[in-house]
């Protein structure tokens, strides 16, 4: 660029032309750089898919026989999803097989004919799918997570104080000295556009009663700063972050483990190892629309203990999967790694540098407001 300007310095007209050329070149380069995110992420050219038609959306979900315990293998479940305005079937030996509509409640595998490849859906009184008949077997629509949560709450409600007291009396595992000191930051102070729905400060969680003294979310400072960068990257796409949880005292992790059936332990951290939430380096979150302020719909609910929570779950709608992948790509770009069984859970890269935290929110608040020695 310097040599170009030097050659035209004695000719004003050429100098202006050179400057104009360089300005345009820089602008184009900047636009190209901005429009070139990671190859696996949704891009501006890959616009948000249309939402699935309501009459198809009500048929989506996991179907399996009533005697299938808990989750069952994929060979015992039938997943119905949507892509491009059409249904597809996965499981029972099929992999993303497209379906063709015969009538309102009847579908058939594309390229086939006859009752052997037909799917007949049933609706309940609320006009929501309740079952599907396929290959002669009637498969009810299963809300596996709700079944597990009912089991958890049934046990917890018998003596919730006993569960809490036992966790508070327990001790976390002994570990080597941490590389970094705790430096927790309240996320409410880092970016006004980050929203919160702290479920564990209310009864709206799988345990069924509040576990935190008040609604708040804390992260170690490097993780909090990275989250701000994610928020800003999402803003130009029209989205913001809605945080469900951050730092979690170890005793809460112990309560989760003790209350959850062994078959669902993949959705809760083992207290003998500690959680990355305990270290202040894990965050649970989703997206919300800046325009409406409403949370987007993902492939499954937050804290849902079912295959719909998996980060690579094939079901749901095209739009839900697109939004899930957008969240994941932007979080990964700033050093977060998704937990494979929970699309909403992200661990910051330096989590191993921190100790397991035991302080309650009250103790954190007291420490932050105590005078320096």
Please name which of 32, 28, 37, 48 lies closest in space to residue 233, comparing C-alpha atoms: 37
> What CATH number is given for 54-142 in this structure?
2.40.128
Q: Which residues are catalytic?
A: 342
99 pLDDT higher than 70: yes
Write the pLDDT tens digit of every residue in 265-317. Answer: 989 999 999 999 999 999 999 999 999 999 999 999 999 998 999 999 999 99
27 pLDDT higher than 90: no
C-alpha gyration radius of the chain: 25
Neighbours of 108 (CB within 10 A): 18
191 pLDDT higher than 80: yes
Write the pLDDT tens digit of every residue in 233-264. Answer: 999 999 999 999 999 999 999 999 999 988 88
DSSP 63-124: EE-TTS-TT--GGGEEEEEEETTEEEEEETTEEEEEEEESSSSEEEETT--SGGGEEEEEE-
Q: Which residue has the higher pLDDT, 71 or 326?
A: 326
Predicted confidence at residue 338, as pLDDT, reads 98
Rounded Cα gap, residues 35 and 329, in angstroms: 14
CATH 3.30.1380.10 fits 160-369, yes or no: yes
Q: How confident is the model at residue 73 (pLDDT cuts 50, 70, 90)?
A: low
Indicate the burial class of 236 (C-beta count within 10 angstroms; 0-12, 13-18, 19 or more). Answer: exposed
**Domain(s) of CATH 2.40.128: residues in the chain:** 54-142
Predicted confidence at residue 367, as pLDDT, reads 82
Place of tokens 């980050």: 194
Enter the pTM of the model. Answer: 0.84
The per-residue pLDDT of the chain, averaged, comes to 87
**Domain(s) of CATH 3.30.1380.10: residues in the chain:** 160-369
Question: By percentage, how much of the chain surpasses pLDDT 70?
Answer: 83
Rounded Cα gap, residues 32 and 37, in angstroms: 10
């Amino acid at each position: 660029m310097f040599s170009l300007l030097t050659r035209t310095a004695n000719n004003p007209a050429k100098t202006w032309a050179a400057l104009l050329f360089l300005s345009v070149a820089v602008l184009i380069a900047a636009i190209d750089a901005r429009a070139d995110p990671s190859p696996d992420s949704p891009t501006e050219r890959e616009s948000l898919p249309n939402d699935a038609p309501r009459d198809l959306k009500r048929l989506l979900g996991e179907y399996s026989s009533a005697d299938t315990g808990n989750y069952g293998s994929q060979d015992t479940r039938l997943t119905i999803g949507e892509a491009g305005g059409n249904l597809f079937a996965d499981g029972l030996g099929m992999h993303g097989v497209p379906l063709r509509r015969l009538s309102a409640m009847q579908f058939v595998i594309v390229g086939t004919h006859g009752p052997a490849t037909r799917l007949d859906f049933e609706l309940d009184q609320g006009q929501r799918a309740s079952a599907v008949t396929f290959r002669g077997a009637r498969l009810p629509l299963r809300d596996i997570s709700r079944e597990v949560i009912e089991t958890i709450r049934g046990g917890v409600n018998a003596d919730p104080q006993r569960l809490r007291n036992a966790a508070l009396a327990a001790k976390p595992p002994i570990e080597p000295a941490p590389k970094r000191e705790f430096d927790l930051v309240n996320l409410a102070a880092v970016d006004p556009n980050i929203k919160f729905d702290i479920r564990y400060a209310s009864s709206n969680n799988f345990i069924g009663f509040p576990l935190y003294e008040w609604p708040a979310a804390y992260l170690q400072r490097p993780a909090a700063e990275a989250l701000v960068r994610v928020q800003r990257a999402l803003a130009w796409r029209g989205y913001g972050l809605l945080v469900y949880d951050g730092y979690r005292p170890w005793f809460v992790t112990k309560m989760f483990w003790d209350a959850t059936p062994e078959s669902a332990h993949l959705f809760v951290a083992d207290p003998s190892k500690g959680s990355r939430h305990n270290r202040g380096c894990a965050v649970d979150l989703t997206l919300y629309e800046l325009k409406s302020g409403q949370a987007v719909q993902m492939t499954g609910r937050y804290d849902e203990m079912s295959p719909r929570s998996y980060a690579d779950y094939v079901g749901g709608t095209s739009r839900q999967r697109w939004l899930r992948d957008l969240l994941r790509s932007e979080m990964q770009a700033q050093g977060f790694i998704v937990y494979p069984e929970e699309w909403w859970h992200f661990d910051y890269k330096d989590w191993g540098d921190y100790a397991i935290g035991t302080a309650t929110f009250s103790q954190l608040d007291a420490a932050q407001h105590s005078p320096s020695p």
